[in-house]
Amino acid sequence: MTSELTPNNAAEPVKSSKPAKAQALTAVKGMNDLLPPASAQWEWLEEKVRGLMARHAYRNLRTPIVEPTALFVRGLGEVTDIVEKEMYSFEDRLNGEQLTLRPEATAGVVRAVVEHNMLYDGGKRLYYMGPMFRHERPQRGRYRQFHQIGAEALGFPGAEVDAELILLAATLWQELGLEDVRLELNSLGQPNERAAHRMALIAHLETHVDVLDEEAKRRLHSNPLRILDTKNPAMHAVVEAAPKLIDFLGEASLAHFNAVKAILDASGVSYRINPRLVRGMDYYNLTVFEFVTDRLGSQGTICGGGRYDYLIEQVGGKPAPAVGWALGVERVLELLKEQGTLPEAVGPDVYAIVPDASALPVVFKTIQTLRTQGMSVQMHAGAGEGMGSMKSQFKKADGSGAQLALIFGGDELARGEVILKSLRDGAGAQEAVPLADVTARVAAKLV
């Protein structure tokens, strides 16, 4: 992109005396605002993830949203959907650096791990959450800014860590109450095994070149494995009959794969071997997997991952094995919504009704104590002159979803009391409570 610094735009002379109303700006296509109450469901999911990661001893890593373009070109592979057509890349017009909004986070995690020499004292288990950017056609479950949560274990070569990560994801589905998610599993073997398979695959595809679409023809010699991932139904028969990578795996690769499967079997996690599962990035080897649902149409993959033992070296680090996955937050929430099991947004515990502004000092003091004790309190705030009528305050209190109202009326305050009123269970019931007992009384009412 070239510099877009424009010369001083000579302003059009304003004809009417009134300034023209500025045209409202809207968000970029495919990039969404997240508003309450839906944002509470995101927080709910994020809390679940934080708890789960802590219990598995995975620690949080936060990397920049912008990285050097070269990181993704080197890390993901040049002949991938992401690098070929989905990246938001631009030149920093101040210093000419080539930058990209991260389309995924694994490459950045690896860069950070190498840059900070994090593996010097052994393997690391990490997780992240955050926005990713891909220029795709926006539709349900596919956005240009979307969010991933990912887990990565770096520095561990063994199949037990592959299994740990898969089980971690499966546990998350359980804790979120996700249904109808199935696990698909494959092994991509090692580079030499892939090379042998690649030759057989190209030979097979060449004998059916008439059936291949343009993209497949283009990838026939650059990245034939990716052709197996095609969504073009016309090519399915050819792809189905193609030589399977799994038949080219040597003893060590098979042993690794079998060890992963054995732990999954022993843990009661079911899976389907999908020999065509290859994943979008070039960096994977050995174990690859996806969690898939049929309930979200063609955006059915909610989580994908695998082993990437060569990526660290590829971005300039000392060779070290690694494995990880990433889930799509929008798709997981969409699936929960589809099931009808997304938690409802909850209101505050207490709504503080303030008939007159003169009560505010007592109101602040009282509700601050409630908040310190962990209760959530929404204070009424005036919308025009003064605090507003009692009627409008009660309407707001009801609308807030609060369980209880505390009414700081002048007469009661003069006696050192407030009125505590139920807004939900036994709505209408009310009692006068001495100010000194408010915290205990409210707490008792809330259980």
Q: Residue 327 CB, nearest distance to ligand ATP (Å)?
A: 6
Residue 49 or 423 with smaller CB distance to ligand ATP: 49
Residue 154 or 302 with smaller CB distance to ligand ATP: 302
In this structure, what DSSP letter does residue 428 have? Answer: T
Q: Residue 152 CB, nearest distance to ligand ATP (Å)?
A: 13
The values of phi and psi at residue 132, to 5°, are -125, 160
Residue 327 or 363 with smaller CB distance to ligand ATP: 327
Residue 224 or 304 with smaller CB distance to ligand ATP: 304
The residue with its CB nearest to ligand ATP is 328
Q: Residue 53 CB, nearest distance to ligand ATP (Å)?
A: 17
Residue 197 or 279 with smaller CB distance to ligand ATP: 279
Q: How far apart, in Å, do the first and last CA atoms of the chain sit?
A: 59
Judged by the rule CB under 6 A, the positions of this chain that interact with ligand ATP are 104, 134, 136, 141-143, 146, 148, 280, 299, 301-304, 326-328, 330-331
Q: Residue 324 CB, nearest distance to ligand ATP (Å)?
A: 11
Beta carbons of 304 and 325 less than 8 angstroms apart:
yes
Q: Residue 312 CB, nearest distance to ligand ATP (Å)?
A: 19
Distance of alpha carbon 85 from alpha carbon 62, whole angstroms: 26
Beta carbons of 267 and 259 less than 8 angstroms apart:
no
Q: Which residues are CB-contacts of 70 (< 8 A; sequence separation ≥ 6)?
A: 98
Q: Residue 229 CB, nearest distance to ligand ATP (Å)?
A: 8
Q: Residue 142 CB, nearest distance to ligand ATP (Å)?
A: 4
Residue 189 or 328 with smaller CB distance to ligand ATP: 328
Residue 198 or 331 with smaller CB distance to ligand ATP: 331
Residue 176 or 405 with smaller CB distance to ligand ATP: 176
Distance of alpha carbon 25 from alpha carbon 333, whole angstroms: 28
Distance of alpha carbon 147 from alpha carbon 331, whole angstroms: 9
Query: Token digits for 384?
Result: 């025009």
Q: Residue 268 CB, nearest distance to ligand ATP (Å)?
A: 24
